[in-house]
Amino acid sequence: EFLDKEVFTDITEGKRYESDIVVKARFQGREACFLLIVENQSSPQAGFPKRMFKYFARFYEKFDLPIYPVVIYSFDRPKRLQPGKHQIDFPGFVVNRFQFRVIQLNRLKWRDYLATPNPAAAALMSKMQIARRDRVKVKLQCLRLIATLRLDPARSQLISGFVRTYLQMTRPELVELQREVGLLPREELNTMLTLTNEWIELGEEKGIEKGIEKGIEQGMERGRAAEARSLILRLGTKRFGAASAEVESSLEQSDLVRLEVFVDRLLEVESWQELLAP
Protein backbone atom coordinates (compact mmCIF):
# COMPACT_ATOMS: atom_id res chain seq x y z
CA GLU A 1 0.00 0.00 0.00
CA PHE A 2 1.50 3.31 -1.11
CA LEU A 3 1.07 5.87 1.65
CA ASP A 4 0.68 9.62 1.28
CA LYS A 5 3.93 11.49 1.20
CA GLU A 6 4.99 12.94 4.51
CA VAL A 7 6.11 16.56 4.83
CA PHE A 8 8.68 17.33 7.51
CA THR A 9 9.89 20.69 8.73
CA ASP A 10 13.49 21.00 9.89
CA ILE A 11 13.21 23.63 12.63
CA THR A 12 16.96 24.22 12.79
CA GLU A 13 17.28 24.92 9.06
CA GLY A 14 13.79 26.30 8.46
CA LYS A 15 13.25 24.00 5.48
CA ARG A 16 10.42 21.66 4.50
CA TYR A 17 11.16 18.20 3.16
CA GLU A 18 8.79 15.85 1.41
CA SER A 19 9.34 12.10 1.45
CA ASP A 20 9.75 10.41 -1.93
CA ILE A 21 8.22 6.92 -1.69
CA VAL A 22 6.57 5.33 1.34
CA VAL A 23 5.15 1.80 1.08
CA LYS A 24 3.42 -0.27 3.73
CA ALA A 25 4.18 -3.92 3.01
CA ARG A 26 3.63 -7.30 4.65
CA PHE A 27 6.36 -9.74 5.59
CA GLN A 28 6.18 -12.86 3.44
CA GLY A 29 4.17 -15.55 5.16
CA ARG A 30 3.33 -13.33 8.13
CA GLU A 31 0.57 -10.96 9.15
CA ALA A 32 3.05 -8.36 10.41
CA CYS A 33 3.74 -5.27 8.32
CA PHE A 34 6.69 -2.95 7.83
CA LEU A 35 7.43 0.32 6.04
CA LEU A 36 9.69 0.70 3.04
CA ILE A 37 10.87 4.28 2.60
CA VAL A 38 12.83 5.25 -0.51
CA GLU A 39 14.60 8.58 -0.85
CA ASN A 40 16.28 9.84 -4.02
CA GLN A 41 19.36 12.03 -3.57
CA SER A 42 20.08 13.72 -6.89
CA SER A 43 22.99 15.85 -5.66
CA PRO A 44 25.71 15.44 -3.01
CA GLN A 45 24.74 17.01 0.30
CA ALA A 46 26.74 17.30 3.49
CA GLY A 47 24.92 15.86 6.46
CA PHE A 48 22.46 13.80 4.41
CA PRO A 49 22.78 10.65 6.59
CA LYS A 50 21.74 12.71 9.61
CA ARG A 51 18.69 14.02 7.74
CA MET A 52 17.83 10.47 6.70
CA PHE A 53 17.98 9.44 10.35
CA LYS A 54 15.49 12.21 11.22
CA TYR A 55 13.12 10.90 8.52
CA PHE A 56 13.46 7.41 9.94
CA ALA A 57 12.79 8.54 13.50
CA ARG A 58 9.66 10.47 12.56
CA PHE A 59 8.22 7.60 10.53
CA TYR A 60 9.00 5.19 13.35
CA GLU A 61 7.31 7.46 15.87
CA LYS A 62 4.20 7.91 13.76
CA PHE A 63 3.63 4.35 12.53
CA ASP A 64 5.42 2.24 15.16
CA LEU A 65 6.43 -0.32 12.52
CA PRO A 66 9.76 -1.80 11.46
CA ILE A 67 11.28 0.36 8.71
CA TYR A 68 13.48 -0.62 5.80
CA PRO A 69 15.16 2.60 4.58
CA VAL A 70 16.62 2.90 1.05
CA VAL A 71 18.50 5.79 -0.52
CA ILE A 72 19.11 6.06 -4.27
CA TYR A 73 22.10 8.25 -5.05
CA SER A 74 21.41 9.31 -8.64
CA PHE A 75 23.99 12.05 -9.23
CA ASP A 76 26.81 11.58 -11.75
CA ARG A 77 29.63 12.71 -9.48
CA PRO A 78 31.35 12.07 -7.16
CA LYS A 79 31.75 8.37 -7.85
CA ARG A 80 33.29 7.52 -4.50
CA LEU A 81 31.17 5.32 -2.26
CA GLN A 82 28.55 7.39 -0.46
CA PRO A 83 27.75 6.96 3.25
CA GLY A 84 25.03 4.60 4.40
CA LYS A 85 24.89 5.26 8.13
CA HIS A 86 24.58 7.87 10.86
CA GLN A 87 26.17 7.05 14.19
CA ILE A 88 26.04 8.65 17.63
CA ASP A 89 28.78 7.44 19.93
CA PHE A 90 31.06 8.21 22.83
CA PRO A 91 34.46 6.74 23.61
CA GLY A 92 33.83 3.05 24.21
CA PHE A 93 30.05 3.38 23.86
CA VAL A 94 27.87 3.46 20.72
CA VAL A 95 24.55 5.10 21.53
CA ASN A 96 22.93 4.62 18.14
CA ARG A 97 24.05 3.21 14.78
CA PHE A 98 21.49 3.93 12.08
CA GLN A 99 22.01 2.31 8.66
CA PHE A 100 20.19 2.55 5.37
CA ARG A 101 20.44 0.59 2.15
CA VAL A 102 22.47 2.46 -0.48
CA ILE A 103 21.84 2.19 -4.23
CA GLN A 104 24.50 4.35 -5.87
CA LEU A 105 23.75 4.34 -9.58
CA ASN A 106 27.07 5.76 -10.78
CA ARG A 107 28.84 2.71 -9.27
CA LEU A 108 26.59 0.11 -10.92
CA LYS A 109 27.28 -1.50 -14.30
CA TRP A 110 24.45 -1.20 -16.79
CA ARG A 111 25.22 -4.57 -18.41
CA ASP A 112 24.34 -6.34 -15.15
CA TYR A 113 20.70 -5.27 -15.56
CA LEU A 114 20.04 -6.18 -19.20
CA ALA A 115 18.27 -9.41 -18.26
CA THR A 116 16.23 -7.85 -15.45
CA PRO A 117 12.51 -7.79 -16.37
CA ASN A 118 11.93 -4.66 -14.32
CA PRO A 119 10.77 -1.26 -15.64
CA ALA A 120 12.88 0.53 -13.02
CA ALA A 121 16.02 -1.16 -14.37
CA ALA A 122 15.20 0.07 -17.88
CA ALA A 123 14.97 3.63 -16.63
CA LEU A 124 17.85 3.67 -14.15
CA MET A 125 20.36 2.09 -16.56
CA SER A 126 20.74 5.54 -18.08
CA LYS A 127 22.25 6.80 -14.80
CA MET A 128 24.67 3.91 -14.25
CA GLN A 129 28.30 3.59 -15.31
CA ILE A 130 28.37 4.15 -19.06
CA ALA A 131 31.54 4.46 -21.12
CA ARG A 132 31.29 7.05 -23.90
CA ARG A 133 31.56 4.32 -26.52
CA ASP A 134 28.58 2.46 -24.99
CA ARG A 135 26.06 5.31 -24.88
CA VAL A 136 24.26 4.23 -28.06
CA LYS A 137 24.23 0.59 -26.91
CA VAL A 138 22.64 1.58 -23.60
CA LYS A 139 20.00 3.69 -25.34
CA LEU A 140 19.10 0.86 -27.68
CA GLN A 141 18.99 -1.72 -24.88
CA CYS A 142 16.72 0.51 -22.80
CA LEU A 143 14.26 0.76 -25.70
CA ARG A 144 14.41 -2.97 -26.35
CA LEU A 145 13.79 -3.75 -22.68
CA ILE A 146 10.84 -1.37 -22.47
CA ALA A 147 9.33 -2.93 -25.61
CA THR A 148 9.86 -6.43 -24.23
CA LEU A 149 8.11 -5.56 -20.95
CA ARG A 150 4.93 -4.60 -22.86
CA LEU A 151 3.95 -1.85 -20.45
CA ASP A 152 0.87 0.31 -20.81
CA PRO A 153 1.42 3.59 -22.72
CA ALA A 154 1.55 5.76 -19.59
CA ARG A 155 4.31 3.72 -17.96
CA SER A 156 6.19 3.41 -21.25
CA GLN A 157 6.16 7.17 -21.72
CA LEU A 158 7.25 7.76 -18.13
CA ILE A 159 10.25 5.45 -18.41
CA SER A 160 11.23 6.54 -21.92
CA GLY A 161 11.02 10.16 -20.75
CA PHE A 162 13.47 9.40 -17.95
CA VAL A 163 15.87 7.73 -20.40
CA ARG A 164 15.46 10.61 -22.86
CA THR A 165 16.25 13.19 -20.19
CA TYR A 166 19.33 11.54 -18.74
CA LEU A 167 20.80 9.94 -21.86
CA GLN A 168 20.56 12.59 -24.55
CA MET A 169 22.18 11.70 -27.86
CA THR A 170 24.53 13.83 -29.95
CA ARG A 171 23.87 14.09 -33.68
CA PRO A 172 26.46 11.40 -34.61
CA GLU A 173 25.05 9.14 -31.89
CA LEU A 174 21.54 9.54 -33.32
CA VAL A 175 22.78 8.42 -36.73
CA GLU A 176 24.46 5.39 -35.15
CA LEU A 177 21.31 4.62 -33.17
CA GLN A 178 19.24 4.69 -36.35
CA ARG A 179 21.61 2.22 -37.95
CA GLU A 180 21.50 -0.08 -34.93
CA VAL A 181 17.68 -0.09 -34.94
CA GLY A 182 17.76 -1.06 -38.61
CA LEU A 183 19.93 -4.09 -37.81
CA LEU A 184 17.51 -5.60 -35.27
CA PRO A 185 15.94 -8.97 -36.18
CA ARG A 186 12.77 -8.50 -38.17
CA GLU A 187 10.38 -9.86 -35.50
CA GLU A 188 11.96 -7.78 -32.74
CA LEU A 189 11.92 -4.67 -34.89
CA ASN A 190 8.23 -5.08 -35.68
CA THR A 191 7.46 -5.56 -31.97
CA MET A 192 9.40 -2.45 -31.04
CA LEU A 193 7.77 -0.36 -33.77
CA THR A 194 4.31 -1.57 -32.79
CA LEU A 195 4.69 -1.01 -29.06
CA THR A 196 6.80 2.11 -29.03
CA ASN A 197 5.95 3.83 -32.29
CA GLU A 198 4.70 6.98 -30.56
CA TRP A 199 7.67 7.58 -28.29
CA ILE A 200 10.89 5.90 -29.51
CA GLU A 201 13.31 8.79 -29.39
CA LEU A 202 15.56 8.77 -32.45
CA GLY A 203 15.36 12.53 -32.89
CA GLU A 204 16.30 14.57 -29.84
CA GLU A 205 17.55 17.85 -31.32
CA LYS A 206 15.96 20.80 -29.48
CA GLY A 207 14.05 18.35 -27.27
CA ILE A 208 11.80 17.13 -30.10
CA GLU A 209 11.03 13.42 -30.09
CA LYS A 210 8.21 12.46 -32.38
CA GLY A 211 8.76 8.74 -32.88
CA ILE A 212 10.84 6.62 -35.15
CA GLU A 213 9.40 8.05 -38.37
CA LYS A 214 10.28 11.56 -37.24
CA GLY A 215 13.71 10.44 -36.18
CA ILE A 216 14.40 8.91 -39.57
CA GLU A 217 12.99 11.98 -41.26
CA GLN A 218 15.31 14.26 -39.31
CA GLY A 219 18.21 11.98 -40.17
CA MET A 220 17.40 12.31 -43.86
CA GLU A 221 17.16 16.07 -43.64
CA ARG A 222 20.67 16.14 -42.24
CA GLY A 223 22.11 13.70 -44.72
CA ARG A 224 21.99 12.82 -48.38
CA ALA A 225 19.18 11.11 -50.24
CA ALA A 226 21.45 8.08 -50.60
CA GLU A 227 21.48 7.60 -46.84
CA ALA A 228 17.70 7.89 -46.79
CA ARG A 229 17.39 5.15 -49.42
CA SER A 230 19.68 2.93 -47.37
CA LEU A 231 17.58 3.40 -44.25
CA ILE A 232 14.32 2.69 -46.10
CA LEU A 233 15.79 -0.46 -47.61
CA ARG A 234 17.08 -1.67 -44.26
CA LEU A 235 13.85 -1.08 -42.34
CA GLY A 236 11.66 -2.18 -45.24
CA THR A 237 13.55 -5.44 -45.59
CA LYS A 238 12.89 -6.20 -41.95
CA ARG A 239 9.16 -5.64 -42.44
CA PHE A 240 8.44 -6.84 -45.99
CA GLY A 241 11.37 -9.06 -46.93
CA ALA A 242 14.13 -8.48 -49.48
CA ALA A 243 13.55 -5.71 -52.02
CA SER A 244 13.40 -6.67 -55.68
CA ALA A 245 15.53 -5.05 -58.35
CA GLU A 246 12.45 -3.09 -59.41
CA VAL A 247 11.95 -1.72 -55.89
CA GLU A 248 15.62 -0.74 -55.61
CA SER A 249 15.44 0.96 -59.00
CA SER A 250 12.33 2.90 -57.98
CA LEU A 251 14.01 4.10 -54.78
CA GLU A 252 17.14 5.05 -56.72
CA GLN A 253 15.09 7.24 -59.06
CA SER A 254 13.18 8.96 -56.25
CA ASP A 255 14.26 12.35 -54.95
CA LEU A 256 14.42 13.29 -51.28
CA VAL A 257 10.87 14.68 -51.21
CA ARG A 258 9.51 11.40 -52.56
CA LEU A 259 11.62 9.42 -50.12
CA GLU A 260 10.11 11.39 -47.26
CA VAL A 261 6.68 10.20 -48.42
CA PHE A 262 7.92 6.61 -48.32
CA VAL A 263 9.18 7.09 -44.76
CA ASP A 264 5.80 8.41 -43.67
CA ARG A 265 4.15 5.32 -45.12
CA LEU A 266 6.69 2.81 -43.89
CA LEU A 267 4.85 1.79 -40.72
CA GLU A 268 1.38 1.94 -42.28
CA VAL A 269 1.69 -0.44 -45.25
CA GLU A 270 2.26 -4.17 -45.51
CA SER A 271 4.32 -4.56 -48.69
CA TRP A 272 6.83 -2.89 -50.97
CA GLN A 273 4.10 -2.48 -53.60
CA GLU A 274 1.92 -0.48 -51.20
CA LEU A 275 4.88 1.60 -50.09
CA LEU A 276 5.82 2.63 -53.63
CA ALA A 277 2.28 3.14 -54.92
CA PRO A 278 1.60 6.64 -56.37
pLDDT tens-place string over residues 190-223: 666 655 444 444 444 333 344 444 444 444 444 4
- Helix ranges (H only) for the chain are 48-63, 119-124, 135-149, 153-166, 171-182, 186-196, 212-222, 225-240, 245-253, 256-265, 272-276
Residue 137: is it exposed, middle or buried by C-beta count within 10 angstroms (0-12/13-18/19+)? middle
Q: Which of 72, 204, 197 is nearest to 143 (CA)?
A: 197
- Is it the case that residue 258 has pLDDT exceeding 60? yes
Rounded average pLDDT over 24-29: 92
Strands 93-99 and 85-90: antiparallel
* Average pLDDT of span 45-63: 91
> pLDDT tens digit string along 144-185?
787 777 777 767 777 777 787 788 888 888 778 877 877 777
Question: What is the distance between the alpha carbons of residues 188 and 88, in angstroms, rounded to a whole number?
Answer: 55
What is the enclosing helix (H) or strand (E) of 107? Answer: none
Q: Kindly state the average pLDDT of the residues 215-243.
A: 68
Domain ranges of the chain: 7-107, 109-194, 219-278
Give the residue, 185 or 124, on which the prediction is more confident.
124
30-35: average pLDDT: 92
Q: Cα separations (Å) of 254 from 17, 264, 273?
A: 60, 15, 15
pLDDT, the chain, mean: 80
Instruction: Find out whether 107 and 145 touch, Cβ atoms under 8 Å.
Output: no
Q: Is 140 exposed, middle or buried (0-12, 13-18, 19+ CB in 10 A)?
A: middle
